[in-house]
Amino acid sequence: MDIKDINIPILSKNTKEGETNKKIFESKGLLTINLMSSPGSGKTTLLENIAPILNEKGFPCLVIEGDIATTRDAERINKKEIKCVQINTHGICHLESKMIRKAFEQLDVINEKILFIENVGNLVCPAEFYLGEHEKIAILSVTEGEDKPEKYPLLFKESSCVLLTKVDLLPFLDLTEDIFISEIRKLNKKAPIFLMSKKDKSSYMEFIEWLIQKHKFIFGGEQ
Amino acid sequence: MHEASIVQEIIDITTEQAKQNNAHKVLEVEITVGAGAMIETDLLSGAFDVMKNETMLEDATLKINKVNLKLHCLNCGKISESDRMVSMECPHCHSFETIIESGREMLINKIIAE
């Protein structure tokens, strides 16, 4: 028997699960962010630094940490008194919707307004799997080199915001911020690019404001 | 390297479809993989051969149709095709102002079962 012309997207189940996730997140008033980058680009450091500021501004956060192994990232986030749950993928290079649902159920949501999903450090696979997020954000640290957007174009093309981290190290590299910006702009004309460094906390403020505006846009201003 | 996850989805969807059609054994699954789907088809076939064991697809072959990535250049208007996801650069005018017209898809097209 031939079952013809079915043309079912292979990742349709993951996408459907992702849509259900999104409804759940929205019912709880959570703006959801999928953070994607190479290992070591500063995803956890970013969250350690911005979550306390967002909390002070009335936008408390939740974090789902994705890693192949260890709970080291979750321990770092928990130290900042931010609710966090760790997913260990045991070899899988990305997170999938159903993993997110299971992890989310372990979080005690009270009045939090932003859910960060820190994806597994990888520039290729995570971009293929929708998790129910409102925004995909790509992070690039200056020490990775300016060639990474062109080498891994999809992630940078499809992200709604790009964070350039560790910019305090630029003086030690033969590169300028303009080179990075023009390389990112080749692929993505619209996404705001925020430059930041953990040495200068004020460098996080523009991005924090962007997050708050996104939240207000989805859930209204009276938050 | 997310081919194993893709194969698991292929097995799950195919099993579901076969059962709905009262089949008990799958002989062939035909899929389309775009060059921009970030999938290595040799790895996909290798994973399929291992993971199909002890499923309805145990004796099934996986037929993969590869389709090119089509880029539409907004600068010069030309459409270029590539069998690999190498760059978003238009090979004609070297602009990066391109949009992916097709070639990101991964679809199950046809199942032969009995």
What average pLDDT does this structure show over A73-88? 91
A12 and A96 Cβ atoms separated by less than 8 Å: no
Interchain CB contact of B87 with A (< 8 Å): yes
Q: Could you tell me the CA-to-CA distances from B101 to A160, B37, B105 in Å, in that order? A: 19, 13, 11
Give me the helices (H) in B2-76, please: 3-20, 41-51
Look up the pTM and report it.
0.91
Q: What is the DSSP letter of A197?
A: B
Q: Name the residue facing B10 among A1, A10, A153 (closest C-beta).
A: A10
**Location of structure tokens 């991005």:** A207
B51 interfacial to chain A (CB closer than 8 Å): no
Is it the case that residue A223 has pLDDT exceeding 60? no
Are A88 and A70 in contact, with CB atoms under 8 Å apart? yes
Test A13 with B12 for CB contact under 8 angstroms.
yes
CA-to-CA distance for B2 and B5, rounded, in angstroms? 6
The partner residue sitting opposite B110, judged by closest CB among A6, A153, A189, is A6
Look up tokens 């999104």; give the residue: A22
B60 touches chain A (CB under 8 A): no
Q: Do B108 and A6 touch (CB under 8 A)?
A: yes
Hunting for tokens 């995570």 — which residue is that?
A: A126
In this prediction the ipTM stands at 0.89
CB-closest option in B36, B37, B109 to A7: B109
Residues 6+ positions from A2 with CB-CB distance below 8 Å: B110, B111, B112
Write down the mean pLDDT value for chain A: 94
In contact, A28 and A62? CB cutoff 8 Å: no
Min Cα separation A60/chain B (Å): 33
pLDDT per position as a tens digit, A84-137? 999 998 888 899 999 999 999 999 999 999 999 999 999 888 888 999 999 999
Q: In whole angstroms, what is the distance from residue A163 CA to residue A31 CA?
A: 18
The per-residue pLDDT for range A44-54, each reduced to its tens digit, is 999 999 999 99
